[in-house]
Amino acid sequence: MNEFLQLIQTRRTIGKVTDEPVPREHIEEILEAGNWAPSHFNTQPWKYFVMVGDGRKKLGEAYAKIALLEKGEELTEEERATLYEKSMKKAFRAPLVIAVACLPHKEDYVVEAEEYAAVAASIQNMLLVAHALGYGAIWRTGAPSYHPVMKETFGLEEKDGLVGLVYIGKADMARESRRIPIDKKTEWIE
């Protein structure tokens, strides 16, 4: 148990990684960990979109389309081309990007917030296994993640949502983090 707690305590958000590809067997281990997250009523509302190599262009094109929709009309052709190129590069910040979506079930007894919580747990499992395998990872969201273009890019329906883009690769930076002591965040009710 101490090894598992140490794994949790040493995992950090790593935003800078090398271009070294992640082997498919490691990707499958990461996905398998995500698939074993808890979900209310065992709905398993997650879906994974694995992007490697040129497959990351799909994400890059979505980033670029969103950027141009938001700023493009006020720019010159040269500025539009620069913005497009800069936005495309966002998808290539890691050799592996996994888009994780929530496909909430609509039965009356299913609470949508619990579906999204389950997908967040799935992503945490993935981050821990990526760390255990020696990779750095970052869970990214931001305004583009919630844009309708992103839903369209991944074929998501109105009720669905992108919960995160998980960028994974060999760490190319060190990262330390401190936590506020647990006694400052805990209220015992006895």
Binding site: which residues?
11-13, 40, 139-141
Question: What are the tokens at 181?
Answer: 């002591």
* DSSP class of 4: H
Binding residues for FMN are: 11-13, 40, 139-141
Q: Which residue reads 């979506």 in tokens?
A: 101
Maximal C-alpha separation, the chain: 66
Assess contact for 67 and 147: CB atoms under 8 A: no
Is residue 93 classed as helix, strand or coil in its secondary structure? coil
Radius of gyration of the chain (CA): 18
d(CA 103, CA 106): 9
Residue 179: phi and psi, rounded to 5, are -120, 145
**How many other C-beta atoms are found inside a 10 Å radius of the C-beta of residue 6?**
10
Instruction: Give 169's strand partners.
Output: 136
Pairing relationship of beta strands 46-52 and 136-140 according to DSSP bridges: unpaired
